[in-house]
Amino acid sequence: MNENDLLIGSFAAAHLPDMGEAEMDEFESLLAELDIDLFGWITAQRDVPEHRQTPLMEKIQAFVQGFVKRD
């Protein structure tokens, strides 16, 4: 999904260098989710499942919100 590529790619470019190993593992596991689910979660259009509601998800959602407002 092109939207995910843009949003997640931009997040990754900005934050990957500062991620620890555990956060990187979680980020990689997010990428294995269905595109439609991931897009809904990161744009706050769908409820995030409890197991995905983490500080990393909150960080991604905040980044996406700022990214969308910027354009």
Q: Which domains does the chain have, with CATH numbers?
A: 2-70 (1.10.150.250)
Task: Report the predicted TM-score, pTM, of the whole model to 2 decimal places.
Answer: 0.90
Q: What's the alpha-carbon Rg for the chain, to the nearest Å?
A: 11
**What are the φ/ψ torsions at residue 59 (nearest 5 degrees)?**
-65, -40
| pLDDT tens by residue, 10-59 | 999 999 999 999 999 999 999 999 999 999 999 999 999 999 999 999 99
C-alpha 42/C-alpha 7 separation (Å) is 9
Q: Over 60: is that where the pLDDT of 71 sits?
A: no
Residue 68 banded pLDDT, cuts 50, 70, 90:
confident
Q: Which helix (H) or strand (E) holds 31?
A: none
For residue 43, give the 3-state DSSP assignment.
Answer: coil
Q: Which helix (H) or strand (E) holds 49?
A: none
Write down the pLDDT at residue 11: 96
